[in-house]
Structure formats: structure tokens, C-alpha cells
């Protein structure tokens, strides 16, 4: 009997650890990743020609990044690495792929989705102006390319990425002019007790906060509203502080985002059941502690099925691989299973505290004006959404999409889907989970019109 | 908690035909209720290609299509909703001499129904549509055909029906309907509707509903597989089809090119459907052969939906053959969008006057009674959109 | 302190050795470095990547991680590429504000 085909999508920390575990057990997993070089977004590697020393790119995480990057070179042919390959669809035991302008497909017996996360976005005045990026985008510009998104950069956010990116920019020599946290500082202190379950991460967070405090950047917590000024390019960032006072700082670029959201489109297309997670205010594919989804042939690891961060992703990658090994009748190290389960349980406690420290900034989404662009692909405003909710009976986001084209553009609602659901919920006065979630449609990312398939 | 409702007419299926019926019946002074398993206008009515096309239809459909086309001119005003109706014309392309002969014959026949089609020679096609590939040798143009946004039409009919006083009940799947002494009793979850008349606009379930009344109408699920590109500079000035029906495309006012590609997967029972990758890629290839200008365009979404298709590819429309005061209108076989608006008027005529001035005899459900397609109906074999 | 309207958006912080890459933007010559993604290459020379289709505005990308799809740009040969995942190459011809050839 031939070995079962185990396909993995995503070569970040979760996918790589899963592939490593499977390869060491004697299987040869097929690892798909859109990037040419492994590492995912958190440990993203510069492209050939743009390499720099790991310490300069990843800072305190350089050791972890190096270890994750070493997996594929170490295991060589024992992992079938399909770099530069977009998985654009999954249906009935088969992946549809695009590599260098050629379509192909891959049948699988088991599928591990390790599709990661992107920034969670809330619109604000001026957010589509050239020069406004997500915090993650700003960080990648620096990590993968050694560039800053502008000469004078302001950062806004809600989540641990904010102090981290600001610190990295300042350290790299960029002029950071403002670091604005839209969550109140009190929330962070209240959650510190929970974070003590994971002392190293707490220490790291405080380190970045302290380092940033040394800079000349304007700093504020509990920011109520933000606004990018400038026609055609960023001229300034204005904000309202926690007491209602207005402030303004000249800048030419802004990094802004508000936590993370799972990249769960493929899990959706695979037919996984989703559930609403109240802690992170988002829908995610249902995942058991051992990495099982609602489907027997699909498994989940890393941020793509709920935000846990890179360390959790590595643990989940290893753990899910053991579940798959067990399912395909391979021997499994029971002690290792217990060790991983206990480590994951500790991390979950920390994660709950971290989310408590950065509650979802509902005040920002409530403040989105009618004339503000909500869907940046299609240029549809928040007012258009409110109109169809109020006057055309659209009660959930897919109906809103059908009526307004919100979420119908190139990004398939990745960027606006969350805020759209929040706005529907606010308009209806219902819980956000009752506003639904955008259903996935293939392709999960644009694919070219190509011939030769008649 | 169960609820009971009594109306003059109960309508099963809230697609365009069902909701338009509710509108027309309310205008005629009758009370009406629409029951839909999901959301009104979100099924085949809402996810089709968006063609507002008369050309190429089975000739029996032309009287309906001609009458419906007149409604399309004022549909936005009637519905108080921009339906993005664009009279772009529909051009049907010939890629062989046989195709050309088919188009010429059709144009002659269509003239009897008042549909004026213009035959274009190869040079004329090339000057009109210079970006077409070299496989086209002629075409037939229907200037008054066009396209619209299907996602908004059905819901707008539902809203209008509600404004006129119809009962619209969504997320109510009808599980049973029976004839009573005074009319009908229809069960939809915890809602029971008693009515004097019953209208069957249940799409792919139309045959099932007919079966409850001892009638046979074979309806199978049809899942047209469709693709849409990112917005492109405007160039597809006409809605386009081909003889054979395997390529069709149009471009929206915003620039997205929508084109078809084969058949998707669907399970009507659980209301799930999916476009299929191989079908999408095949559609790309065939479309690219015809429209090389689509090289490099990026497809941003593919989709399908579930329509009901009959063996002879024309709908069932008319009175039941077994049950008084039961009216059918289903099985539009992938091309009901253009006909939807007129179906409301015709159903209301059948209910209030017992007949309609528009000839519908070819659509009688009795053609399936013997178990096969009646030979008098000339099957137009290619499904177009 | 406000940047000039046509000043580049990005600013290179980590200089590195390596070959230069010549490409064009709307026909005008521009320079980048081997290892630069097209998004980097363009935004080190210009304030934006592309025109927005549905209004008088430009866009410069947003997420830099192949998720938001905001950075698709058009090449003079009609090709469409996502600038945040495509390396700049010698001879690439990028169109931002269009050009008589399109």
C-alpha cells in the first residue's frame, strides 16, 4: 500500500513544524506555499538579493526564525516543497493550484491547513490614501525589504503588533512620530496577571513598551478617533485622545490595524464548520485541541483557525501532525502528545489574557461615517451598507454583499468583511455573530485567464 | 409556536417569478403569501448570468420574452431599484457555415414573433468587434437585448410585493401542500398557509411540488458555472453568445467581464452548490479562443447556483392538469431571468381570469404526462444564459 | 515637513550591495536593486502604484502580504502582476497613469 498523500497549505511556523514532524515519521508531505521562501509572514524571509543578518530582521525572535527556516534545508527531499504555489481552491479531496502561470491540481488523503492570519482592519477617514498600510504591511516592508513606508511614520493599533513595529522602525533608523493605542492602558494592566502564565512573552512586551517610551514619538492610549489628512498622499495623522482633546502630527505614512484575523477561506471552501469566537470577535473553523476540524480529512494549525501567535503555531503544527499520523495508522509518541497538549493549554491561558488586554475597539467601527469607503476593492461606502440594512432588509453580510458589492472585489472581503459585519450588527442592534460571515468563493486569490484547458 | 395564515393565493418559491406574481396579484386585489426556503431572489434568480436576452430562445418562448422585454424598460421605475439594465444588444456568433445557416433560419423565424435580428457578415463583425479572435465568420445581432444585475431584481420584487401588502415569509421551507375542500393547505415549518389558489414557482423543486398533486414533470438540477474578472477597461460592448452555447460573456458597467464555463456541482436538497475548477478552466480556454483580449485578465470569483432544468429545456407554465386552482411556472432551465418579470402578470391572469392572452400551450405540464417529452415541442438543445 | 506631491513613498533604511535593476514607470526610467519587490521598486520612485478604478484616486498597496490584492499593477505588455509578490526585473515597464500604448 502506498503512503497516504498528506498535503499542507502554508509554510509558516505551523505548516513547517507539521511537515517536519510528518517527514521525521517517514511520510513525505506535500507542502504548498505562495511564497518562494518558507517562514510565513512572521518569519518572512527577504527575497534573493535582499538578504540581511537574521538579528537585524527578526530581533529577539532571530533564533526561532532561524530554527524554522532550517527545517526545509535540513530535511531536503523528505518534504515535497511546492514553493511559489497558490492553492486557490479545495473541494472533495483535491487542491487546485497555480504556479508560475500554470494550473495544476493535487489530490490528498489528509489536508492540513496552516494558512496564517492578516491584520484586522477598521476603516477610518483617509485609510485608503496611498501611504496608509497595515501594521503587518509596515513590518514586512522593513523585514523583507529593508525599507520604511515613509520618512515620518505614525502607527496606530490595538494589539501587541503596535509597540513591536514601532520599536522595529525606531531601531532601524526610521523617524517614528506617533504610537497611538486605541485601547485603554488600564485593560493591559488588568490582563497582566494572566500573562504571567507566560513570563517570557510578558517581558518581551514590556521591553518594547519601555524602548518605545524612550523615543520622541507622541504616545497615547485610549485614543478615541483617528483621521489621516492629505489629498493623494498622507500629510498628517490627527486623533482625539481619551479626554476628547484633538491632536495632530505631520507625517507621510501611517501603519494602522487592529489585531489579527484568520485567513480561513480555504477551510471554508473545504467545508469545515465555523464557530464564532467571542474572545477575538471573529468566526473561525472549529478546531479541536488535537487540530481536527469538523471534517475527517481536514486538519487545522496556526493562526488560520484562531489567533495564537507564532509559538502556538509551532506547537499546533507539531500536534496536528501527530493526530494525522495516528489517523493514518503510524506510531505516535504518546509522551510527546502529552507534552504538546500541556504546552498548548498554558499558551491558551496567556492568549485569553492578551486578548483581554486588547479588546476590540468598537468605538472606532461605530464612528465610521456614511461617506467612508468600507470596501476598498470596490469603493463601496459604509453608507451603502447602512442603506441596504435599513431600507432593503439586508440582515447579514452575504445579503449586503449581493446588494452592494461589499466584499465582492479582488480581496474577497478579507479586508472589509469584519468591519462590514460589525457595521451590520450596529445598524441592526444585534450581536455581531448574527450578522454572519462572508462565504468563501474560489479562487481565494485572483487567478489569470489562461488557455489550454478545453 | 405554530402560526396559521389564510390568503387568496399561496406562492411556493420567492424567485423573480414568485415575487412578481405576488406583486401582480396584489395589484389585482388578491391577498398573497410567498414562502421561500431561503431569501427571496437569492436562488437561480439571483446568481444567474444576468442576460436579458430574447435572441436564441426556443421560438415558443418568444411571445413571453417579447412581452417581458417591454416590462424591462420600466422595471427600475416599477421596482424603485436600479437594476443596472443596459440595452447593450446581444450578438450571437457563428464559427462555421452550419452555425451561419442556423442563425439565418432563426432570424427568419423570429421575425414572425416581431423580433428583429440583424445578420452581420464576417467583415461587419470584425469592424464592430475588432477584438474577437479569427474564428468568427458571422453573427446575428439583437439590438434590443441586454443585461442587468440579477442579484438585485428578485429582492426588489419581494420588497415591492411587501409594500403592496403581500406576506413574504423567508427561511420557510415548504414540506407539504395538499388540496382541501376549499382550496389548499401548505406547511412550511411552523407556518401553515390556507389558500384558495396555489402557485408553484419552486424552481428546481417545481417537479416535486407538482408530484404532490399527482403530476409528472421531470426537473433536474442545473448548475451553470460562471466566472468574473477584475474590472477591465470597457471593451465588451455587447452581450455575447455563440452557436452551440458553450461560450457567453458580458461586461458590466463597472468593467468586470462575466463569462460562463460549463457546469458546477450542486445539491438542491441541502441548498449547496460549488463552481468546479476544471469547468472554470475549460470556460477560460474556450472564452480565450474567442476573445484573446482576455489574456492576462485576472478572475476574482467563480460561482454557480441551482436552477431547475426540464428535458426539453423550456419551462412548465400553466394550469395544473389534475388540480383546479393550482398554477405552475418552473423549470426555466437556466434562462428564466429575462422572463421573470412577465411571469407575474401571466400567473395573475391565470388566477384572476383563468387564461392569458400570451400563448403558453407549449409549456403545459401535460407534455410530460406520457413519461417522455412530447414530440410537438422542438427541443432547443443548447442551454444559453 | 509635508512631502512633495510626487516624492517617493518608501525610504530605504538598510542599504545593501548588489546589482541595480533598470525598469520604467509610465515610460520614464527608474532604478531599483536586485531583491526589491516591484512594490518596493515603484514606491521608492513614486508615491503610488496604480490608479483606483472607481474614482479619482491612486493606491499604493496596503497589506504587503498578498492578502488585500490592492497592489496589482499593469505592465506595458498588458501583463498583470501583484507588486508585493513579484520581484522587479530589468526591463520591466510599469504603467500607473496609463499610456497611449494601452
Instruction: Give the start-to-end residue ranges of the domains of chain C.
Output: 35-92
Average pLDDT score over chain A: 93
Number of neighbouring beta carbons within 10 Å of residue C91: 9
Question: Looking at the domain B87-144+221-309, which fold is it?
Answer: D-Amino Acid Oxidase; Chain A, domain 2 (3.30.9)
Residue B378: per-residue pLDDT: 42
Number of neighbouring beta carbons within 10 Å of residue B78: 17
Is B254 an interface residue toward C (CB < 8 Å)? yes
User: What separation in angstroms does the CA of B223 have from each of A399, B83, B220, B229, B285?
Assistant: 20, 23, 10, 20, 19
Is A136 an interface residue toward C (CB < 8 Å)? yes
Nearest chain C CA: its distance from A117 CA (Å): 9
In whole angstroms, what is the distance from residue B145 CA to residue A70 CA? 61
By C-alpha distance, the chain B residue nearest C78 is B296
For residues C29 and A185, the model is more confident at C29
Residue B374: per-residue pLDDT: 46
The pLDDT > 70 percentage for chain B reads 96
Short-list C37, C46, C38, C12, CA closest to A49? C37
Is C53 an interface residue toward B (CB < 8 Å)? yes
Residue A355: per-residue pLDDT: 80
Q: What is the pLDDT of residues B40-64, one digit of tens each?
A: 999 999 999 999 999 999 999 999 9
Query: Please, what is the Cα angle at A163 between C39 and A146, to 5 degrees?
Result: 30
The pLDDT > 70 percentage for chain A reads 93
Burial class (CB in 10 A: 0-12, 13-18, 19+), C98: exposed
Please check whether residue C40 is in contact with residue C89, taking contact to mean a CB–CB distance below 8 angstroms: no
Cell numbers linked to B300: 476574482
Please check whether residue A103 is in contact with residue A85, taking contact to mean a CB–CB distance below 8 angstroms: no
How much of chain A is helix, strand and coil, in % rounded to 5? Answer: 40, 20, 40
> What secondary structure does DSSP assign to A105-165, as a single string?
EEE-SEEEE---EEE-----TTTTSTTEE-HHHHHHHHHHHSEES-SEEEEEESSTHHHHH
Residue A210: per-residue pLDDT: 52
Cell numbers linked to A351: 492568549
Q: Which residue of B230, B265, B297 is in closest CB contact with A410?
A: B230
Against a cut of 0.90, is the pTM above it? yes
A196 band by pLDDT with thresholds 50, 70 and 90:
low
User: What separation in angstroms does the CA of A70 have from each of A43, A62, A64, A75, A317?
Assistant: 12, 12, 10, 9, 16
8 Å CB contact of C54 and B231: yes
Residue A454: per-residue pLDDT: 53
Q: Which residue of A52, A253, A445 is in closest CB contact with C14?
A: A52
A207 band by pLDDT with thresholds 50, 70 and 90:
low
What length is written for chain B? 385
In whole angstroms, what is the distance from residue A125 CA to residue A369 CA? 8
Q: What is the pLDDT of residues A291-306, one digit of tens each?
A: 999 999 999 999 999 9
Residue B381: per-residue pLDDT: 41
Interface of A with C in 46-65 (CB under 8 A): 46-52, 56
The number of angstroms, rounded, from the C-alpha of A233 to the middle of its chain's C-alpha atoms is 26
Residue B384: per-residue pLDDT: 54
C100 band by pLDDT with thresholds 50, 70 and 90:
very low
Stretch B30-49: mean pLDDT, rounded? 97
User: What separation in angstroms does the CA of B143 have from each of B58, B88, B90, B92, B107?
Assistant: 18, 7, 6, 11, 13
By C-alpha distance, the chain C residue nearest B296 is C79
Q: Which CATH number does B3-49+151-219+311-371 carry?
A: 3.50.50.60
B376 band by pLDDT with thresholds 50, 70 and 90:
very low
Alpha helices in B190-330 (DSSP H): 206-211, 277-290
Which segment of A98-112, B264-278, B309-323, B360-374 scores lowest on mean pLDDT? B360-374
Short-list A339, A301, A294, A356, CA closest to A31? A301
8 Å CB contact of B231 and C79: no
Is A90 an interface residue toward C (CB < 8 Å)? no
Q: What is the pLDDT of residues A122-140, one digit of tens each?
A: 999 999 999 999 999 999 9
With an 8 Å Cβ cutoff, the interface of chain A facing chain B consists of 89, 91, 94, 96, 103, 105, 378, 392-393, 399, 402-403, 408-410, 412, 441-443, 446-454
The pLDDT > 90 percentage for chain A reads 87
Please name every residue paired with C29 in a beta bridge, in sequence order, or none if there are none.
C24
* Chain C residues with beta carbon closer than 8 angstroms to that of A145: 35-37, 40
pLDDT at A69 over 70: yes
Stretch A271-275: mean pLDDT, rounded? 98
Q: Which residue of B151, B282, B294 is in closest CB contact with A403?
A: B151
Write a three-state SS string for B90-130.
EEEEECCHHHHHHHHHHHHHHHCCCCCCEEEEHHHHHHHCC
Residue A279: per-residue pLDDT: 87
Residue A32: per-residue pLDDT: 98
8 Å CB contact of A50 and C16: yes
* Chain B residues with beta carbon closer than 8 angstroms to that of C83: none
By C-alpha distance, the chain C residue nearest B300 is C69
Residue A184: per-residue pLDDT: 81
Residue B93: per-residue pLDDT: 97
What letter would DSSP give residue B169?
E
A359 band by pLDDT with thresholds 50, 70 and 90:
confident
User: Which regions of chain B carry the CATH code 3.30.9.10?
Assistant: 87-144+221-309
Interface chains of chain C (3 or more CB pairs under 8 Å): A, B
Alpha helices in B249-356 (DSSP H): 277-290, 340-352
Number of neighbouring beta carbons within 10 Å of residue A444: 24
Residue B133: per-residue pLDDT: 81
Residue A452: per-residue pLDDT: 76
Interface chains of chain A (3 or more CB pairs under 8 Å): B, C
pLDDT at A372 over 60: yes
Average pLDDT score over chain B: 95
In whole angstroms, what is the distance from residue B228 CA to residue A412 CA? 12
pLDDT at A10 over 50: yes
Is C72 an interface residue toward B (CB < 8 Å)? yes
Is A170 an interface residue toward C (CB < 8 Å)? no
Interface chains of chain B (3 or more CB pairs under 8 Å): A, C
In whole angstroms, what is the distance from residue A340 CA to residue A313 CA? 11
* Chain A residues with beta carbon closer than 8 angstroms to that of B157: none
Stretch A353-382: mean pLDDT, rounded? 93
Burial class (CB in 10 A: 0-12, 13-18, 19+), A415: buried
pLDDT at A190 over 90: no
Residue A212: per-residue pLDDT: 52
pLDDT at C102 over 50: no
Cell numbers linked to B328: 405552475
* Chain C residues with beta carbon closer than 8 angstroms to that of A141: 10, 40, 64
* Chain C residues with beta carbon closer than 8 angstroms to that of B254: 53-54
pLDDT at B371 over 90: no
Helix, strand or coil, per DSSP, at residue A202:
helix
The number of angstroms, rounded, from the C-alpha of A336 to the middle of its chain's C-alpha atoms is 28
In whole angstroms, what is the distance from residue C69 CA to residue A411 CA? 5
8 Å CB contact of A453 and B281: yes
Short-list C34, C30, C36, C39, CA closest to C93? C30
Question: What ipTM does the predicted assembly reach?
Answer: 0.96
Stretch A252-275: mean pLDDT, rounded? 97
Q: Which residue of B233, B254, B296 is in closest CB contact with C79?
A: B296
Q: What is the pLDDT of residues A166-180, one digit of tens each?
A: 999 999 999 999 999
The number of angstroms, rounded, from the C-alpha of A269 to the middle of its chain's C-alpha atoms is 18
B138 band by pLDDT with thresholds 50, 70 and 90:
very high
In whole angstroms, what is the distance from residue A441 CA to residue B241 CA? 25
Is A415 an interface residue toward C (CB < 8 Å)? yes
Residue A428: per-residue pLDDT: 98
For residues A386 and C4, the model is more confident at A386
In whole angstroms, what is the distance from residue B173 CA to residue C58 CA? 47
Stretch B253-267: mean pLDDT, rounded? 96
Residue owning grid cell 382550496 = B183
Cell numbers linked to B141: 445581432
pLDDT at A79 over 60: yes
Q: Which residue of A392, A442, A447 is in closest CB contact with B275?
A: A442
In whole angstroms, what is the distance from residue A233 CA to residue A170 CA? 22
Residue of C11, C17, C51, C97 to mutate for A, most A C-beta atoms under 10 A: C11
pLDDT at C2 over 80: no
Amino acid at each position: 500500500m502506498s503512503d497516504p498523500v498528506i498535503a499542507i497549505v502554508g509554510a509558516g511556523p505551523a505548516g513547517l513544524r507539521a511537515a517536519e514532524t510528518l517527514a521525521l515519521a517517514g511520510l513525505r508531505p506535500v507542502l504548498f506555499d505562495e511564497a518562494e521562501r518558507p517562514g510565513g509572514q512572521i518569519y518572512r524571509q527577504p527575497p534573493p538579493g535582499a538578504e540581511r543578518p537574521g538579528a537585524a530582521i527578526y530581533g529577539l525572535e532571530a533564533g526561532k526564525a532561524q530554527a524554522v527556516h532550517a527545517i526545509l534545508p535540513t530535511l531536503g527531499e523528505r518534504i515535497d516543497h511546492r514553493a511559489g504555489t497558490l492553492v486557490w481552491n479545495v473541494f472533495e479531496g483535491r487542491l487546485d493550484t497555480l504556479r508560475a502561470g500554470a494550473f495544476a491540481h493535487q489530490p490528498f488523503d489528509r489536508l492540513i491547513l496552516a494558512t496564517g492570519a492578516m491584520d484586522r482592519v477598521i476603516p477610518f477617514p483617509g485609510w485608503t490614501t496611498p501611504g496608509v498600510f497595515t501594521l503587518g504591511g509596515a513590518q514586512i516592508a522593513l523585514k523583507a525589504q529593508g525599507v520604511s513606508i515613509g520618512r515620518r511614520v505614525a502607527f496606530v493599533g490595538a494589539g501587541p503588533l503596535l509597540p513591536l513595529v514601532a520599536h522595529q522602525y525606531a531601531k532601524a533608523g526610521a523617524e517614528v512620530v506617533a504610537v497611538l493605542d486605541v485601547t485603554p492602558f488600564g485593560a493591559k494592566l488588568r490582563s497582566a496577571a494572566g500573562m504571567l502564565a507566560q513570563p517570557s512573552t510578558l517581558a518581551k512586551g514590556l521591553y518594547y513598551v519601555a524602548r518605545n517610551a524612550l523615543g520622541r514619538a507622541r504616545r497615547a492610549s485610549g485614543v478615541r478617533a483617528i483621521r489621516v489628512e492629505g489629498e493623494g498622499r498622507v500629510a498628517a495623522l490627527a486623533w482625539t485622545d481619551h479626554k476628547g482633546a484633538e491632536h495632530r502630527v505631520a507625517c507621510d505614512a501611517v501603519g494602522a490595524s487592529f489585531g489579527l484575523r484568520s485567513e480561513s477561506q480555504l477551510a471554508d471552501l473545504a467545508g469545515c464548520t465555523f464557530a464564532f469566537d467571542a474572545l477575538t470577535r471573529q468566526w473561525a473553523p472549529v478546531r479541536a485541541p488535537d487540530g481536527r476540524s469538523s471534517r475527517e480529512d481536514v486538519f487545522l494549525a496556526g493562526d488560520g483557525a484562531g489567533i495564537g501567535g507564532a509559538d502556538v503555531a509551532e506547537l499546533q503544527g507539531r500536534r496536528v501532525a501527530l493526530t494525522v499520523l495516528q489517523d493514518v495508522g503510524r506510531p505516535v509518541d504518546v509522551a510527546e502528545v502529552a507534552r504538546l497538549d500541556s504546552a498548548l493549554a498554558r499558551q491558551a491561558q496567556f492568549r485569553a489574557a492578551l486578548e483581554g488586554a486588547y479588546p476590540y475597539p468598537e468605538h472606532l467601527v461605530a464612528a465610521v461615517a456614511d461617506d467612508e469607503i468600507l470596501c476598498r476593492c470596490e469603493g463601496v461606502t459604509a453608507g451603502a451598507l447602512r442603506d441596504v440594512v435599513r431600507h432593503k432588509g439586508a440582515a447579514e453580510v452575504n445579503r449586503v454583499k449581493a446588494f452592494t458589492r461589499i466584499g465582492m472585489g479582488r480581496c474577497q472581503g478579507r479586508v472589509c468583511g469584519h468591519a462590514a459585519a460589525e457595521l451590520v450588527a450596529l445598524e441592526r442592534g444585534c450581536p455581531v455573530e448574527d450578522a454572519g460571515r462572508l462565504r468563501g468563493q474560489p479562487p481565494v486569490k485572483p487567478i489569470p485567464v489562461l488557455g489550454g484547458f478545453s | 409556536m405554530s402560526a396559521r395564515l389564510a390568503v387568496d393565493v399561496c406562492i411556493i418559491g420567492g424567485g423573480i417569478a414568485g415575487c412578481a406574481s405576488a406583486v401582480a396579484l396584489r395589484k389585482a386585489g388578491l391577498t398573497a403569501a410567498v414562502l421561500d426556503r431561503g431569501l427571496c431572489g437569492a436562488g437561480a434568480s439571483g446568481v444567474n448570468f444576468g442576460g436579458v436576452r430574447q435572441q436564441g430562445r426556443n421560438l415558443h418562448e418568444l411571445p413571453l420574452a417579447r412581452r417581458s422585454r417591454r416590462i424591462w424598460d420600466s422595471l427600475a421605475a416599477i421596482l424603485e431599484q436600479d437594476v443596472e439594465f443596459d440595452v447593450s444588444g446581444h450578438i450571437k456568433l457563428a464559427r462555421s457555415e452550419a452555425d451561419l445557416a442556423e442563425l439565418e433560419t432563426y432570424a427568419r423565424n423570429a421575425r414572425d414573433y416581431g423580433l428583429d435580428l440583424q445578420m452581420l457578415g464576417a467583415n461587419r463583425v470584425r469592424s464592430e468587434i475588432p477584438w474577437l479572435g479569427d474564428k468568427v465568420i458571422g453573427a446575428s445581432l439583437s439590438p434590443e437585448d441586454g443585461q442587468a444585475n440579477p442579484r438585485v431584481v428578485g429582492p426588489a420584487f419581494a420588497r415591492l410585493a411587501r409594500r403592496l401588502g403581500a406576506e413574504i415569509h423567508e427561511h420557510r421551507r415548504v414540506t407539504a401542500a395538499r388540496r382541501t375542500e376549499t382550496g389548499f393547505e401548505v406547511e412550511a415549518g411552523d407556518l401553515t398557509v390556507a389558500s384558495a389558489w396555489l402557485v408553484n414557482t419552486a424552481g428546481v423543486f417545481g417537479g416535486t411540488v407538482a408530484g404532490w398533486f399527482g403530476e409528472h414533470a421531470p426537473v433536474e438540477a442545473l448548475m451553470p458555472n460562471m466566472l468574473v474578472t477584475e474590472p477591465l477597461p470597457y471593451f465588451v460592448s455587447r452581450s455575447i453568445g455563440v452557436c452551440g452555447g458553450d461560450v457567453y460573456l458580458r461586461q458590466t458597467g463597472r468593467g468586470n467581464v462575466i463569462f460562463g464555463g460549463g457546469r458546477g456541482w450542486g445539491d438542491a436538497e441541502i441548498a449547496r452548490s460549488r463552481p468546479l475548477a476544471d469547468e472554470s478552466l475549460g470556460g477560460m480556454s474556450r472564452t480565450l479562443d474567442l476573445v484573446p483580449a482576455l489574456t492576462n485578465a485576472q478572475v476574482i470569483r467563480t460561482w454557480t447556483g441551482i436552477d431547475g432544468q426540464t428535458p426539453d429545456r423550456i419551462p412548465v407554465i400553466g394550469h395544473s392538469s389534475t388540480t383546479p386552482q393550482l398554477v405552475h411556472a418552473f423549470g426555466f432551465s437556466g434562462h428564466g431571468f429575462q422572463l421573470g418579470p412577465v411571469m407575474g402578470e401571466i400567473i395573475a391572469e391565470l388566477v384572476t381570469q383563468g387564461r392569458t392572452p400570451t400563448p403558453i400551450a407549449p409549456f403545459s405540464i401535460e407534455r410530460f404526462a406520457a413519461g417522455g417529452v412530447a414530440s410537438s415541442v422542438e427541443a432547443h438543445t443548447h442551454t444559453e444564459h | 515637513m509635508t512631502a512633495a506631491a510626487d516624492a517617493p513613498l518608501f525610504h530605504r533604511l538598510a542599504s545593501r550591495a548588489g546589482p541595480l535593476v533598470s525598469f520604467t514607470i509610465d515610460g520614464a526610467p527608474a532604478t531599483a536593486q536586485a531583491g526589491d519587490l516591484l512594490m518596493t521598486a515603484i514606491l521608492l520612485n513614486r508615491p503610488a502604484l496604480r490608479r483606483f478604478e472607481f474614482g479619482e484616486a491612486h493606491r499604493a498597496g496596503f497589506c504587503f502580504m498578498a492578502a488585500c490584492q490592492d497592489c496589482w499593477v499593469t505592465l506595458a505588455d498588458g501583463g498583470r502582476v501583484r507588486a508585493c509578490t513579484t520581484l522587479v526585473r530589468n526591463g520591466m515597464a510599469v504603467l500607473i497613469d496609463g499610456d497611449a500604448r494601452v
